[in-house]
């Protein structure tokens, strides 16, 4: 049966997992009130969310670190808007010291304050408040017609993701991104996968593609695909709307510059059954509850973010370069950068 696999998990009955999911209506009621975060924290990427994955008749709960805290989101939003912290503090009537504390990962901002920030910075108020309360909602990710192996590798204070896709019961697959190096990739390698036929890169950045040529040599990979505009020693550039077929699986490339000058997302789908759930390998275009930094172009990043999500069905599972799986519909509803 098609599954999503992310390493060591603990099984629970389906109905228990369903009861464990936070009710969205309760969340929306809660975040209209002013709660304070009861502890100060340093930048450790230690906020975790429970990701629920459906395995046949079982629900599996996996604890996966969410990539960005509220301070990260505010910093990225101010950079996108070209606004300075003292200017923003004055505009929203928040003491400058409180706003600087939030940017330094010691946020005690209330939802009312976050709401004012969201309106000035053109953010999704509901999602920003949920993130500020450590209650960002995530969907059940299930229904893929193929197997998705999520390889989560430590990098600095966070986690970087690579992904292997294979047919059900198959020992060969295709790889998306390679992680910081071959050793990190192999340490997290799924034992059922014995070979790789192709590798696709979302963008050239050490934590995502540091081991590309070593991976190509180790697995004897014949096809390595990179975004148009990249020139690695062992990859072939592909651009927007290019489709590559592998068995019953179709990989469609989308050019999405913004985070980087050359960046691709990949939509993975199957010809049969029609209407089956698709997967979007998003790289650093978008995360659960945030986006990648707009280091190349904020304008292109926002434009491509909307364009790609609008091309995908709401139930498309979104596999980002950092953090947990989510869905297109969930991020359209809650992501702070999608007001």
Residue 264 confidence (pLDDT)? 97
Instruction: Give helix 125-132 / helix 111-121 axis angle, nearest 10°.
Output: 140
Give, in order, the Cα–Cα distances in Å from 218 to each of 120, 225, 231, 265.
50, 16, 21, 25
Tokens representing 270?
């199957």
Residue bearing tokens 């193929």: 146
Residue 96 confidence (pLDDT)? 98
Measured distance between the N- and C-terminal CA atoms of the chain, rounded to whole angstroms: 37
- CA angle at residue 54 from 53 to 56, to 5 degrees? 155
Q: How far is the C-alpha of 332 from the C-alpha of 339, rounded, in Å? A: 8
Residue 45 confidence (pLDDT)? 41
Q: How far is the C-alpha of 84 from the C-alpha of 111, rounded, in Å? A: 21
Tokens representing 217?
């040599």
> Is residue 229 within 8 Å of 264, Cβ to Cβ?
no
pTM: 0.84
Residue 54 confidence (pLDDT)? 36
> Is residue 178 within 8 Å of 199, Cβ to Cβ?
yes
> Is residue 204 within 8 Å of 226, Cβ to Cβ?
yes
Residue 155 confidence (pLDDT)? 84
Block means of pLDDT (10 residues each) for the chain, 339 residues, are: 45 28 36 30 38 33 78 97 96 97 96 98 98 94 95 88 96 96 95 96 89 93 93 89 93 96 96 88 98 95 97 97 97 98
């Amino acid at each position: 049966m098609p599954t999503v696999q992310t390493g060591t998990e603990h099984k629970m009955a389906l109905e228990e997992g369903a009861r464990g999911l936070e009710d969205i209506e309760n969340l929306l009621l809660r975040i209209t009130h002013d709660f304070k975060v009861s502890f100060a924290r340093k930048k450790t990427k230690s906020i975790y969310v429970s990701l629920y994955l459906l395995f046949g008749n079982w629900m599996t709960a996996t604890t996966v670190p969410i990539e960005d805290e509220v301070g990260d989101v505010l910093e990225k939003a101010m950079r996108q808007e070209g606004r300075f912290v003292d200017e923003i503090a004055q505009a929203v009537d928040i003491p400058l010291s409180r706003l600087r504390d939030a940017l330094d990962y010691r946020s005690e901002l209330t939802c009312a304050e976050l709401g004012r920030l969201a309106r000035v910075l053109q953010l999704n108020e509901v999602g920003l408040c949920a993130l500020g309360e450590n209650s960002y909602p995530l969907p059940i990710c299930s229904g893929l017609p193929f197997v998705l192996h999520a390889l989560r590798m430590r990098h600095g204070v966070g986690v970087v993701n690579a992904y292997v896709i294979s047919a059900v019961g198959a020992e060969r697959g295709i790889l998306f991104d390679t992680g910081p190096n071959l050793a990190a990739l192999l340490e997290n390698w799924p034992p059922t996968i014995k070979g790789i036929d192709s590798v696709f890169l979302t963008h050239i950045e050490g934590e995502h593609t540091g081991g590309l040529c070593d991976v190509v040599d180790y697995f004897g990979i014949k096809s390595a695909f990179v975004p148009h505009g990249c020139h690695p020693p062992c990859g072939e550039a592909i651009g927007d709307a290019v489709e590559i077929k592998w068995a019953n699986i179709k990989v469609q490339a989308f050019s999405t510059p913004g985070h980087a000058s050359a960046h691709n997302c990949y939509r993975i789908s199957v010809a049969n059954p029609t209407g089956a759930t698709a997967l979007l390998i998003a790289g650093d275009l978008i995360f659960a509850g945030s986006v990648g930094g707009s280091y190349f172009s904020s304008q292109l990043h926002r434009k491509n973010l909307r364009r790609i999500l609008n091309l995908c069905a709401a139930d498309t599972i979104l596999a980002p370069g950092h953090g947990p799986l989510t869905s297109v519909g969930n991020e359209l509803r809650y992501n702070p950068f999608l007001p």
